[in-house]
Chains A and B, each alone.
Chain A
Amino acid sequence: MTPAAAIPQSNPVLDRSWSDPPGIIGWLSATNHKTVAMRFMLTTFGFFVAGGLLALIIRLQLARPDSKLVGPDFYNQLFTMHGTTMMFLFAVPVMQAVAIYLVPLMIGARGIAFPRMNAFAYWIFLMGGLMLYTAFILDIGPDAGWFSYPPLAGPEYSPGKRVDFWAQLITFTELSGLLEAVILITTIFKLRAPGMTLNRVPLYVWTMLVTSFMVIFAMPSVMLASTALITDRLVGTHFYNPAEGGDVVLWQHLFWFFGHPEVYMIFIPPLCFMSSIIATFSRRPIYGYPVMVLAIIATAFLAFSLWVHHMFATNVPELGKSFFTAASAMIAIPTAAQMFCWIATLATGKLNFRTPMLFALSFFVILLIGGLSGIMLASVSLDLQVHDSFFVVAHLHYVLLGGAVFPLFGAFYYWFPKFTGRLMNETLGRWNFWLMFAGFNIAFFPMHIAGLQGMPRRVYTYPAEMGWGMLNLISSIGAAILAIGILLFIVNVLRSRRSGTPAGADPWAAGTLEWAAASPPAPGNFSIPPVVASRYPLWSEGGVAGSVKGLVDHRREVLVTSVLDAIPNHRATLPESSIWPFISALAVTVLFVASIFTPWAVVWGAVLVTPPLVAWFWPKKAATQRNLQREVKP
């Protein structure tokens, strides 16, 4: 018999108490994790498309030698905006956006920890992105590359406000990312369904836990670095000014101490998109659960000891470089362990080649190529040869698209029915996949060769005599095919959202808890929260061992459990929806943007920011009364 908790049931009282209020004020006050996550995903996808369009202009420009389509100044803005958008406004935040939708559902919770902070983090992210694009439209888009090395990005070589907007964008996005990390860690540690011991946590949730800790240790570095950069530029500090005792390589250390772990913040969550998709479409649990978890943790640790391999062309001591070469090669070990676990799972499973699975399998081809060119680049001598060439461009796109974007698209196909209640079209999905796969390889594989032939990155054009014309033309054609593939994805989403096949709760017959909720889930996720007894509760007999009774429906009550064994501890009430996170985010935006123009904005901006934050915290009489009625002291 299937326990009641495994079947979605409607509960109007519960739905009402977890719903966000109606109207425009209500819309701005939304705190439901699914609403915020959906906006977050759409926003990051919007930036992905914007960054992609910039890339298409770049490819159009480079398609033939001596092209006059765009000038060098605009070209600098193009590649800086493309890199900044993809790294800071898409790759890291989209992983968090997906997680704030899925994690509460996967752990059997009705909500997310700190829902108002979650809304605040979204608004901050949105406003940061809008600020950057507003600056770009006004021809003050950053132009010193997505990693803004001084002295080029310093006050002497980049006068004007362009780099300041870049530095403030970092403040916006990293603030948002750090808050989301705290929210996800607290949610995963404290809101898991009873019975979901750490040993039974879905692999995807493990990856988000590890990623969130990486965010906490890595992002402060880039925030500190960019703050030092902006104070160098605005108030005359000398952190990166060698004439006054500063050092430009300090920037590279701080940036890459963040930047390398960042690659893994982008790459680790998709590893367990893979694990979710492969398990479901192989009809068996992933082989080697402990190996997978340990491999993720090992990757995270190693990721913090690799940063100098981005700096082989600087005056870092040679012995130090050898250490970082070894550490870089070592990361292949946990990655390989995971690959072998997936291969074992695939080899012993009953495979079903649906679109999500195609995207997941493409990882094996694309990431493998990216990984192999990575091992080449980990060698100091080879790195010096191809440094700043298109070889590096090819490598990083193979790693990031193969490691993150392809699995992410697979994840969208996989969870789209959960988000919308409808399946995406399979035929369009296959066209989408094969066009993206072919387009990607046609676009980026020739860049390896162009790089080896000496074509430097970040040049707006090249003379015909260099002989790079044909390779570049092929790349540009590939980029166009890739773009058509992505366009088909958008068409598929728009069509399937309205007229796709209704999915039901569990269209793929998958094993984890999110498939026990309705599609799309009710505002309160689970009308009867489950007690779980298995890693794949919906697959094993007795996996959903029972249900949680005693949480009231007319309030946003959640069960808080213990960190290791998910032993029920207390019932907490999540706060009501509120407009103050939005207003606070507006005030913070005024502070951040104004401080580009005057340092005093930090002072009067703080005065502006404090009242909405206090109003956000200040309890309402009615809500307090209701809480008091049900209060049980510890």
Chain B
Amino acid sequence: MSSPRFRQTPAADIDVSLLPTYVYGAGSMMWWGTMGLMLIEGTVFALAIVMYFYLRSHSLTWPVNRAPELLWGGINTAILLVSLVPNWLTKRAAEREDLPAVRRWLAVCLLCAALFLTARVFEFGALHTRWDSNAYGSIVWMLLALHTTHLVTDTIDTAVLLVLMITGPLEGKRFVDVSENAMYWYFVVGSWLPIYAVIYWGARL
């Protein structure tokens, strides 16, 4: 059944009974809700980075301790960037409503999540400073902790969606949820890049 679409805003009685009951992307309320949350969290990240440089401008030595090791941060950045691929495939599969592919790629995403959460533990260990050492340590920990919170929540979201995709109950709009979860993942990866640059290269340049 093909549903009739409206091309312009109506000025008379209309019948909407044949319109779709869900859509993907910017047409859906879910997309706007996710965008709103991303805007809020993006603002938090931006302000935390401003705090970093504000504190740096007030300090004679920076970093106050040895700069953080590049190894674990580099590994984690690589994992996060690689995870974009299964995530993109999940999003595509969701929008095709290809359930087996959604399950498969969601599972791969979850595996990536497990990997970067593990690497994150080592990353904290390789910072060479503590949150209570000095203001430099505080802001570096704050940046990394803020981002880690997002990693954890998105990992939980992905796990819940995977279970739902396996057990049901399913309907079409659950694929919209998968698609929006993928968009949020893009944001978590995208916001990491400036934070990575600040934590690792802000301490070196």
A interface with B by C-beta (< 8 Å): 113-114, 117, 178, 181-182, 185-186, 189-191, 194-195, 197, 216-217, 219-221, 223-224, 227-228, 231-232, 235-239, 241, 244-247, 250, 253-254, 257, 531, 533, 545-551, 559-563, 565-573, 606, 610, 614, 617-621, 624-625, 627-628, 630-634
Are A619 and B27 within 8 A (Cβ)?
A: no
Report the bound CA distance from A369 to B171 in whole Å.
59
* Given contacts A190-B32, A237-B131, A244-B134, A619 and B7 within 8 Å (CB-CB): no
Which chain B residues lie closer than 8 Å to A569 at the CB level? 6, 19, 23, 27
- Collect the chain A residues with CB atoms within 8 Å of residue B142's CB: 227-228, 231, 237, 239
Chain B proximity of A294: nearest CB distance (Å) = 22
Across the interface, which residues of B come within 8 angstroms of A565, CB to CB?
8-9
B21 and A571 contact, CB distance less than 8 A: yes
Cβ distance A215 to chain B, nearest Cβ, rounded Å = 9
Asked if B201 is at the interface of the complex by the 8 Å CB criterion, the answer is no
The reply to whether B36 and A224 form a contact with Cβ atoms under 8 Å apart is: no
Contacting pair A633 B20 (CB below 8 A)? yes
Which residue from B33, B39, B170 sits with its C-beta under 8 Å from A624? Answer: B170
CB of B205 closer than 8 Å to a CB of A: no
Q: How far is the CB of B136 from chain A (nearest CB, A)?
A: 6
Q: What are the 3 A-B residue pairs with the smallest beta carbon separation, nearest first?
A: A550-B17, A182-B36, A245-B135
The reply to whether A550 and B16 form a contact with Cβ atoms under 8 Å apart is yes
**Which residues of B have CB within 8 Å of A546?**
10-14
Interface string of B128-145 (1 = CB under 8 A from A): 000111111111011000
Cβ–Cβ contact B22 & A548, under 8 A? no
Contact B20 A634 (CB under 8 A): yes
Question: A570's contact among B11, B19, B133, by CB below 8 Å, is which?
Answer: B19
Hey, what's the 0/1 contact readout for B70-88 against A, CB within 8 Å counting as 1? 0000000000000000000
Chain A residue at minimal CB-CB distance from B7: A567
Contact partner of B11 (CB less than 8 A), chosen from A195, A563, A627, is A195
Please indicate the chain A residues that have their CB under 8 angstroms from the CB of B137 in the complex: 237-238
Q: Write out the residue numbers on chain B whose beta carbons fall within 8 Å of the beta carbon of A610.
A: 156
User: Chain B, 87-98, contact with A by CB distance < 8 Å: what is the 0/1 string?
Assistant: 000000000010
- With A220-B44, A567-B8, A570-B19 known, 20 other A-B pairs at CB within 8 A are A182-B33, A186-B29, A191-B29, A194-B14, A220-B43, A228-B51, A231-B142, A238-B132, A238-B138, A548-B13, A548-B14, A549-B16, A550-B16, A560-B29, A567-B6, A572-B29, A631-B172, A633-B22, A633-B172, A634-B22
A617 CB, nearest partner CB in chain B, Å: 7
Q: Could you tell me which residues of chain B, from 1 to 54, have a CB within 8 Å of some CB in chain A?
A: 1, 3, 6-24, 26-29, 32-33, 36-37, 39-41, 43-44, 47-48, 51, 54
Residues of A within 8 A of B147 (CB): none
CB distance from B15 to the nearest CB of A (A): 5
With the chains together, A114 CA to B24 CA distance in Å? 17
Complex: A437 Cα to B17 Cα, angstroms: 53
Assess A571 versus B20: contact at CB under 8 Å? Given A182-B33, A224-B44. Answer: yes
A568 interface neighbour in B14, B28, B152, Cβ under 8 Å:
B14
Overall SS of chain A's interface: mixed
On whether A624 and B132 interact (CB within 8 A), knowing A195-B11, A569-B23, the answer reads no
Kindly identify which residue among B8, B17, B51, B97 contacts A250, using a CB–CB cutoff of 8 Å.
Answer: B51
Whole-angstrom distance from the CB of A626 to the nearest CB of chain B? Answer: 9
Nearest B residue to A190 by beta-carbon distance? B29
Q: Is the CB of B59 within 8 A of A245?
A: yes
The answer to whether A631 and B16 touch across the interface, beta carbons within 8 angstroms, is no
Q: How large is the interface on B (under 10, 10 to 19, 20 to 34, 35 or more residues)?
A: 35 or more
Contacts of B136 in A (CB 8 A): 245
Q: Is the CB of A572 within 8 A of B55?
A: no
Q: Which residue of A238, A548, A619, A628 contacts B164 across the interface (Cβ within 8 Å)?
A: A619
Can you list 18 A-B contacts with CB-CB less than 8 angstroms, sorted by A residue number? A216-B36, A217-B43, A227-B142, A228-B138, A237-B131, A238-B138, A245-B55, A245-B136, A247-B54, A549-B15, A560-B27, A567-B10, A569-B19, A571-B16, A572-B29, A573-B21, A619-B171, A633-B20
Q: Give Cα A606 to B148, complex, Å.
A: 13
How far is B16's CA from A628's CA once the two chains are assembled, in angstroms? 18
Q: Does B198 have its Cβ within 8 Å of any Cβ on chain A?
A: no
* Closest chain B residue, CB of each to CB of A3: B13
**Interface check B150, CB cutoff 8 A:** no
Chain B residue nearest to A558 (CB atoms) is B29
Q: A220 touching B172 by the CB < 8 A rule? A: no
**Residues of A contacting B117 with CB < 8 Å?**
none
Contact (Cβ within 8 A) B134 A566: no
Nearest to A174 among chain B residues (CB) is B40
Contact B9 A195 (CB under 8 A): yes
CA distance A190 to B136 in the complex (A): 44
Nearest chain A CB to B112 CB, angstrom units: 20
Selected from B39, B59, B131, the residue in CB contact (under 8 A) with A231 is B131
Chain A minimum-CB-distance residue to B62: A245
B9 touches A194 (CB 8 A): yes
- Measured in the bound complex, the distance between the Cα atoms of B141 and A632 in whole Å is 48
| In the complex with contacts A245-B59, A545-B11, A619-B44 CB distance below 8 A | no
Query: CB-CB < 8 A to B138: which residues of A?
Result: 228, 231-232, 237-239, 246
Give the shortest distance, in Å, between B145 (CB) and chain A (any CB).
Answer: 9
Taking each of A244, A548, A549, A551, which has the highest tally of chain B beta carbons within 10 Å of its own beta carbon? A244
